[in-house]
């Protein structure tokens, strides 16, 4: 897992640039910014978007994200938009 700002030193780039970088590196995007990345999700089969809620505890995001990645094949999530966890109010 790589953080765009901290690991790749690409802070302050646009959503489109983040998406283009993910395509180039053939990486999945895990983001709190779900609404802005939803439109990108199915544009390319070399990346995918996993949306998480900022209101879900980090340990729960980590547990669910790890479980999703462990049960998915290497390419199964590419070209897809997945909502990993919704807030309790949204899920009800």
Helix (H) or strand (E) holding 83: strand 81-83
Q: Is 14 exposed, middle or buried (0-12, 13-18, 19+ CB in 10 A)?
A: exposed
Facing residues of 31 across strands?
51
pLDDT per position as a tens digit, 34-73: 888 998 888 888 899 999 999 999 999 999 999 999 999 9
Gap between the Cα atoms of 85 and 53, Å rounded: 6
Task: Please check whether residue 77 lies inside any domain of the structure.
Answer: yes
Look up residue 32 and give its DSSP letter.
S
Whole-prediction pTM: 0.85
- Boundaries of domain holding 70: 15-85
Task: Please check whether residue 50 lies inside any domain of the structure.
Answer: yes
Task: Please check whether residue 45 lies inside any domain of the structure.
Answer: yes
Task: Please check whether residue 35 lies inside any domain of the structure.
Answer: yes
Task: Please check whether residue 6 lies inside any domain of the structure.
Answer: no
pLDDT at site 91: 43
How many domains is the chain built from?
1
Task: Please check whether residue 5 lies inside any domain of the structure.
Answer: no
């Amino acid at each position: 897992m790589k953080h765009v700002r901290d690991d790749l030193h690409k802070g302050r780039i646009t959503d489109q640039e983040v998406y283009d970088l993910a395509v180039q590196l053939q990486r999945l995007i895990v983001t709190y910014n779900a609404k802005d990345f939803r439109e990108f999700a199915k544009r390319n089969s070399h990346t995918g978007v996993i949306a998480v809620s900022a209101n879900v505890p980090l340990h729960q995001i980590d547990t669910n994200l790890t479980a999703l990645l462990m049960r998915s094949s290497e390419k199964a999530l590419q070209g897809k938009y997945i909502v990993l966890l919704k807030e309790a109010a949204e899920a009800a």
